[in-house]
Structure 1
């Protein structure tokens, strides 16, 4: 759980309620609980956060369609990623 104070003094919280990963669909759904507490007033909402990951080539095509060019691809350590890398990749994009 993460907690922070809002400018009006309310306590804001966010926490993970559940996670579900689907390797075939390439998605991970995280159910998040958002809370706002201020005096005797409380609001609590739960919302899904869906993360979808793409194969490198498909992501590059999506970027190009959006008017972006891939200028660099690196691994989590910041080193250039080989073309056949399938782990987490960082893309540097530039508007075309």
Structure 2
């Protein structure tokens, strides 16, 4: 049992972590930033430029909120997937 526990502890260190804290920020930039860039084209009417301004600030606000969340809470740890290491097969005994 001691050897099995030692192997289990060594196996835990070989896990891969995938951080997903940046995903909502990037999604917000795409959803708000792309239309803002399109509405900011010179051929668009004045109302589209106002919409581009508002969408641009929404995109910036999403980035700021993500950065504040990283500073004020453990957002990185909460949005982390822990995956088993590649190439290692788990052997579960009974």
* Same fold (TM > 0.5): no
Q: TM-score, normalization: structure 1?
A: 0.21
Structure number with greater CO (CA < 8 Å, separation at least 6) is 2
Instruction: Return the structure number with greater helix share.
Output: 2
Bigger Rg over Cα: 2
Q: TM-score, normalization: structure 2?
A: 0.21
Instruction: Return the structure number with greater strand share.
Output: 1
